Structure 1
Amino acid sequence: MRNLFVATLLSMIASSGYAAGIRFFVIPADAGGPALQAVVWTPCAVAPEPIKVGPYRLQATKDCPTVGDARPLVVLSHGHGGARLDQHDLAETLADAGFIVAAISHPGDTATDMSRTNEASVFVERPNDIKRLIDYMLGSSADVARIDARAIGFFGFSRGGFTGLVLADGVPDFQHADIPCPDELPICKLVREGKLPPQQWTHDARIKAFVLADPLDAFPTAPTVAHIRAPIQLWASEYGGDGVLPETTPALAKLLPVQPEYHLVEGAAHFAFLPPCSDELAAIVPRICVDGQGYDRAAFHNEFNRDVLAFFRAELLQASNSNAAR
């Protein structure tokens, strides 16, 4: 009966036919950290329209009232020097399917603020930023009454994938990690000299399922991931890039104590996990927009977004139903 109930819920959400609403907001500074620039996508009953936000081209309706109740929540964490809109196509796909999706720009490691991008503090604060985002969404947000707190998922790309592994109860070991790291960067110098101080890492058991795309892998041994038990969908590009070596994500897949749903994307480099770029974005940062000859990023994202949605549907609805039955 339980499987039939979950299947029915999946069918209801699959046929819901929502559109994506979008709303920008700021999470105030508090004892946990500075103000966070945030965005939320929600199920909306109004047809989306093209929106230009800086170099991004979005398909959503601004400030649209959220439709429905008991919505699963997915939080997003961008990569090195990224921003809250980096995975906008995935967020739109999830909101179209009935999810609430929230993202922040990580202070000190964003496109507009790279002031601490190579300091140890950024790696420590990233998981705490996501915890603060979840706290806000469940405590003070306009959608608090519409979120199912039992059904929270996480998506992270690159350093965002690192962030997710920490939140899932991983404990990084930079000293032994296989990460290209030049000595002129402060964190690299500390690691090389064995002077990186012990860190307090933020874990969050409220997150029930994780999707990680080409994560920066500071988890080189079994003990560093020994306590990770949540279901994971793990994506690896064939060629890697931006500090992620091609061999590290497959190695991580073998280390994880619970076998992940693993996908190797042939012909892809690291930035293929970002949506196809607008002409304006390609002119500003071409390195994140150019793929290998013949690689079709748009076609890949149709498949990628579909598979991520299917994973979150299965895992988060199962988590919600299982907790309700207790």
Structure 2
Amino acid sequence: MRLVAVTAFALAVALAIFTAPCLAADVGFEKIEIADGAEPPLTVGIWYPTDAPASEHASGNHTQTVALDAPVVGDGLRLIVMSHGGGGSYDSHYDTALALAHAGFVAAAVSHAGDTYDDQTHVLEPWRRTAQLHRLADFMLNEWSGHAHLDETRIGAFGFSNGGFTVLVAAGATPDLSAIAPYCRAHAEHDLCQALQHAGVDPDRAAHAPAGAWVHDPRIKAAVIAAPAFGFAFGRAGLSDVRIPIQLWRAADDHHQPHPYYDEAVRMNLPRAPEYHVVAHAGHYDFLPPCDARLSRKMPALCTSQPGFDRSAFHDEFNAATVRFFQTELR
């Protein structure tokens, strides 16, 4: 009996070794432009496992250690599509994308044309974002040079702020933007309402999505969402079709999207309770990667954390939790 047990244990260990994912040594990276119908091309960043040697390269306001345009390693790889916050770009969450790629995922992020740091022409048309995220998934699964390495049945999504809103819609939510006007009448001092006022925008006129504008994507099977924008605009009915597993993050000291109108409004109304994390002493922009000294001088509002809050240490935990969630939910 003891011999049988030992043999069975050895067989189990061997099976675990042979069935465990084989992680590549480094991370490959591509920055490309993809066609988007009659719209201008979309800028996309793609991080993926590779065995090519990596080195430091500048990426926007950051430096990352990657192998540029290297071959993809692995098969049946899980895809995570990523959506940045308002005024961001494809590399706004490059550290999370790197962590995912190191863990054997492919992470693809799109710069949302019309709502980037250098293009705010369509910032009050958030339905454009959902169509762009859908286009990104289409491209990755059908046109990307490495698409044969992907498992089209295991797709996740990551989104922050406006990107969190975008991912919720992709996951099945339908917002009611007409809720913005009464919200701002009740909370004129809140950042969203101040921004609309400073831009000379009437919320009643800006909050009308075209018929059929909200693009849902049933290919997405799990989502990580941090500080979702316009949380109050969903309600229970608007979130009723979001059935996938959600990991939801809130910064405890988020003055940009104050509690309980954003994250809590989503958490309370999801039909399936999310995995919920509240980050003590964190502000809204602490979900962005740590800044170097140059970027801190250039963009202090995005880079300054509360005294005593270690953004680097938090991102180690945040990225690890993101990877674990997708590893569990996209098995």
TM-score (norm 2): 0.86
How far did residue 296 of structure 1 move? 0.0
SS at match of 1:34: strand
Gaps of 5+ in 1: 318-326
| 1:320 equivalent in structure 2 | none
Determine if contact 1:154/1:210 at 8 Å carries over to the other structure.
yes
How far did residue 139 of structure 1 move? 1.1
Determine if contact 1:51/1:60 at 8 Å carries over to the other structure.
yes
1:123-149 Cα offsets, whole Å, 9 max, x none, are 010000000001111111111101100
Gaps of 5+ in 2: 1-11, 185-191
Determine if contact 1:18/1:97 at 8 Å carries over to the other structure.
no
1:254-278 Cα offsets, whole Å, 9 max, x none, are 2100110000001000001011012
* Aligned residues with identical type, % of pairs: 35
- Structure 1 residue identity aligned to 2:225: L
Return closer, same or farther for 1:152/1:185 CA change in 2, 3 Å cut-off.
farther
Q: What is the CA–CA distance in structure 2 between the aligned matches of 1:219 and 1:115, rounded to whole Å?
A: 22
* Residue of structure 1 aligned with 2:96, choices 68, 72, 90: 90
| 2:72 equivalent in structure 1 | 66
* Residue of structure 2 aligned with 1:223, choices 237, 240, 250: 237
Q: How many residues align?
A: 305
Q: What is the CA–CA distance in structure 2 between the aligned matches of 1:187 and 1:69, rounded to whole Å?
A: 51
Determine if contact 2:176/2:238 at 8 Å carries over to the other structure.
yes
Say if 2:138 is the partner of 1:135: yes
The root-mean-square deviation of aligned C-alpha atoms, in Å, is 2.3
Equivalences for 1:109-258 in 2 at 5 Å? Answer: 109-117=115-123, 119=124, 121=125, 123-176=126-179, 178=183, 180-182=192-194, 183-184=196-197, 189-191=202-204, 196=208, 198-199=210-211, 200-216=213-229, 217-242=231-256, 244-247=257-260, 248-258=262-272
Return closer, same or farther for 1:9/1:181 CA change in 2, 3 Å cut-off.
farther
Which segment is superposed worse, 88-97 or 172-181?
172-181
Say if 2:34 is the partner of 1:20: no
Say if 2:294 is the partner of 1:280: yes
TM-score (norm 1): 0.87
How far did residue 88 of structure 1 move? 0.5
* Residue of structure 1 aligned with 2:61, choices 39, 55, 58: 55
How far did residue 185 of structure 1 move? 6.2
Which segment is superposed worse, 211-220 or 21-30?
211-220
Question: Which 4+ stretches in 1 moved above 6 angstroms?
Answer: none
Q: What is the CA–CA distance in structure 1 between the aligned matches of 2:112 and 2:84, rounded to whole Å?
A: 8
Determine if contact 1:162/1:218 at 8 Å carries over to the other structure.
no
Determine if contact 1:170/1:219 at 8 Å carries over to the other structure.
no
1:141-197 Cα offsets, whole Å, 9 max, x none, are 111101100011000000000001111111112233557324536795143x69735
Return closer, same or farther for 1:77/1:10 CA change in 2, 3 Å cut-off.
farther
How far did residue 280 of structure 1 move? 2.5
